[in-house]
Structure 1
Amino acid sequence: MSNPIKILVISNYTNTISARPEAEIFLGLKQKGVEITIITEKDSEYAKKFEAAGIRVIDGLPKKKNCGKSQELIRNELIQGKYDALLLYNSKAISNGIKAAKNLPVKVILYRGYTGNINWWDPTAYTKYLHPRVNKIICNANAIQELFERQLFFKKGKAVTINKGHDLSWYEGIEKTDLTVFGIPDDAFVITCVANARRMKGMKYLVKAMDFIPTNLPIHLLLVGTGLDSVEIMNIVSKSPNKDKIHFTGFRKDGLNIVKSSNAFVLASIKGESITKAVIEAMSLGIAPLITLIPGNRELVVNGESGLVVLMKNPKALAEGMVTLYNNPELCNKYGIQAKERIKTVFNTQQTVEGYFSLLKELQNEVG
């Protein structure tokens, strides 16, 4: 009988909702007999769940990228615990973890959930993802794996795609909420976007798309997130013939309830995504998605089956997608049903756990 797999994980689990897809991986691996220790914030909600499941938790999440104290903690734990693998999930964990693992037999595994900003000619890349000490890189989308494999001198097989899956049961208790509080009429067809204020989200193209919506249609765009009402965006809104149908909520804790109450979900990203959590959440809630054709997200939605996929940076195409969903309520409903089924069958957390387990078993069996 082979020895149980032993892993040391370093990640931040303070935000319970956003951390859930990742945290549930390790709860699943524990059930498969993997011995797990996690370095994180010990007062987080998931730290308590880990301990209840028999996972050892160490309070010592690195606070800066080059922290001697963190490196000493990690290295001592690696030596004493004789781990098979060290899994690193954020920039500070990666910087300190790689240094701590120097000349130790442990396999070093990094996580990458962003498409872009990896270049073989960039010296800083060799301090993290292209560091020769790294054994494997878990990519959250095929597009990220392809990005690594295009790099000169990058060893084929080092990057592997394992999507962060979701469990539909997480969304069973999400109730609808009243959207009229945002000035939206009862009979409106509401298309919601949940995003943060980053240029990669393509918000200006999304807001501009409302210019191409016939003014007699009750299509309303609801934007959920901090900072989306920037000067640039509000300037576009002010000139829109449908400016009264564009609504901003700011930051909301009930984002999922808002999405559940919507007719469709839209994301106009122009780059950088892997598979966006907000889109997966909408699909898990059975809400039809309208997204752009960019690396990463294009793997999520099958155009014409589980939603609509249009060209990026194309307001007119986004508008046409919105009108299509409005004009065809049965089709919109079908997309929502199929989107939910796609998460259940293709992007579920159990497949993620199995993918991790297979990778860890492979690395455990490697010699040297």
Structure 2
Amino acid sequence: MNILACTSSDSSFNSLRPEHEIYISLAKSGHNITIITHKNETYSKRFLKYNITLIEKPITKKISLSSIRLIRKIIKEKSIDIVYATNSKSIPNSVIACMGLPTKLVVYRGTASGLYWHDPANYLSILNPRVDGVICVSRYVFNYVSSLKVLKNKNITSIYKGHNISWYNKSPANLNEFSIEEGAFIAICVTNARPHKGLHIVLNAVDQLSDLENFHLILVGKGIDKEPYKSLYKNNRLKSRIHIAGYRNNAPEMIAASTILIQPSISGEGLPRVILESLAYGTPVIASANPGSMEIINDGNNGIIVPVGNPTALADGLRKLHDSADTLMALAANSKTKLENEMSHKRTVNKYIEYFESLLVH
């Protein structure tokens, strides 16, 4: 197949890897891949290594005549079978570029909200009749997208953005900067400070755990030092053992050095990447009962599920794990099974090939 991917490469390496490795594996499987994206120090070299045609002219506007012309030119010159657009800027440009051409247009959907039929902007995106197919990152997102009557004629599927355990071979991070005593129980929460991410739930939960003398919390992400989180931290009974790390490129390695990952999102998580990273390193997870998280975590098997938005339930779950080393060991022992099977990178690539080929049959 001749495939054109219109995507972005201006995020962190960890966030790019699950998607960008799909393109590399497609190329290694014998497909002709062209990518329009940003210049990226790591992936520009990797794409070229595997004979991927790389066009470093990123799509930076929702409507860009130059981007539309470029996409259209590539489709014609390379006889593109599939155009795959992955974000809010590449999708509308691809929709217009594909008008009147026989190529199949597939778009990516990673969240289960926002597709309002009364929002005109959506008709230049996923709701446009020119879109042939939609790849949803999870069954949760698939159920949302496929429930919309306006999309009933589109070929919608769910394909996990799988991971490869071999990606996670770095040593756990050194946490000495936080002056945490040896043998401590370290909970870590990796999230940017947005209301739906549930950081306030975590801070209210650990406020109930100050009696656990060896319990520490590390917070990784942007905006954590701002209100309302700043006040929740300042007035927290665990304050002396809450460590605000800010944004870190080595977040997965910090998770590997911790005892437990907390994933407290209230809504909107299609398939939380941080949970997959944690499981790949063998670090158990305690997560709120969001559908996306529950597709990864089997309660009591490879993690613990607690009610959404309930600080007391989260505190109780953390306390039980703190008090039971055997439970922690059992969860850790089962952590990699999901990534080795239904959420593996290899399975993801095979699903992409099957799906793209099925579109070309019709």
User: TM-score category by the smaller chain?
Assistant: over 0.9
| Structure 1 residue 214: Cα displacement | 5.2
Q: Does 1:272 align with 2:268?
A: yes
Q: Does 1:356 align with 2:352?
A: yes
| Structure 1 residue 82: Cα displacement | 1.5
Q: 1:87 aligned to 80, 84, 88, which one? A: 84
How many Å separate the matches in 1 of 2:191 and 2:233? 17
Residue equivalent to 1:193? 189
Q: 2:175 aligned to 163, 171, 179, which one? A: 179
Residue equivalent to 1:143? 140
Q: Does 1:203 align with 2:184?
A: no
How many Å separate the matches in 1 of 2:194 and 2:329? 30
1:337-348 residue pairs with structure 2 within 5 A? Answer: 337-348=333-344
1:206-225 residue pairs with structure 2 within 5 A? Answer: 206-213=202-209, 215-225=211-221
Superimposed CA distance per residue, residues 1-52 of structure 1 (whole angstroms, 9 cap, x where no aligned partner): xxxx111111112443321111111111112221111112245421221121
| Structure 1 residue 351: Cα displacement | 0.5
Q: Does 1:77 align with 2:74?
A: yes
Residue equivalent to 2:102? 105
Q: Percent identity?
A: 30
> Comparing 332-341 with 272-281, which one deviates more in the overlay?
332-341
| Structure 1 residue 271: Cα displacement | 0.6
Residue equivalent to 1:165? 162
Report SS of the residue matched to 1:273: coil
Gaps of 5+ in 2: none
Q: 2:6 aligned to 2, 7, 10, which one? A: 10
> Comparing 77-86 with 178-187, which one deviates more in the overlay?
178-187
Q: Would you say the 8 A contact 2:201–2:311 is kept in 1?
A: yes
Report SS of the residue matched to 1:231: coil
Q: Would you say the 8 A contact 1:9–1:39 is kept in 2?
A: yes
Residue equivalent to 1:37? 34
Distance 1:289 1:216, change over 3 A: closer
User: How many pairs are equivalent?
Assistant: 361
Q: Would you say the 8 A contact 2:107–2:135 is kept in 1?
A: yes
Residue equivalent to 1:47? 44
Residue equivalent to 2:22? 25
Superimposed CA distance per residue, residues 101-135 of structure 1 (whole angstroms, 9 cap, x where no aligned partner): 11111110001112211222332222111111101
Q: Would you say the 8 A contact 2:9–2:39 is kept in 1?
A: no
How many Å separate the matches in 1 of 2:38 and 2:230? 39
Q: Which letter maps to 2:14?
A: I
Gaps of 5+ in 1: none
| Structure 1 residue 264: Cα displacement | 0.7
Superimposed CA distance per residue, residues 190-219 of structure 1 (whole angstroms, 9 cap, x where no aligned partner): 010111121111000111001222514422
Report SS of the residue matched to 1:212: coil
Q: 1:125 aligned to 122, 147, 155, which one? A: 122
Residue equivalent to 2:259? 263
Q: Would you say the 8 A contact 2:92–2:125 is kept in 1?
A: yes
How many Å separate the matches in 2 of 1:225 and 1:60? 29
| Structure 1 residue 65: Cα displacement | 1.2
> Comparing 205-214 with 10-19, which one deviates more in the overlay?
10-19
Q: Would you say the 8 A contact 2:207–2:237 is kept in 1?
A: yes
Alignment TM-score, normalising by the size of structure 1: 0.94
Q: Would you say the 8 A contact 1:42–1:48 is kept in 2?
A: no
Q: Which letter maps to 2:224?
A: L
Alignment TM-score, normalising by the size of structure 2: 0.96
Report SS of the residue matched to 1:300: coil
Residue equivalent to 2:320? 324
Report SS of the residue matched to 2:151: coil
Distance 1:43 1:331, change over 3 A: closer
| Structure 1 residue 342: Cα displacement | 1.6
| Structure 1 residue 349: Cα displacement | 0.3
Q: Would you say the 8 A contact 2:162–2:346 is kept in 1?
A: yes
Q: Which letter maps to 1:95?
A: P
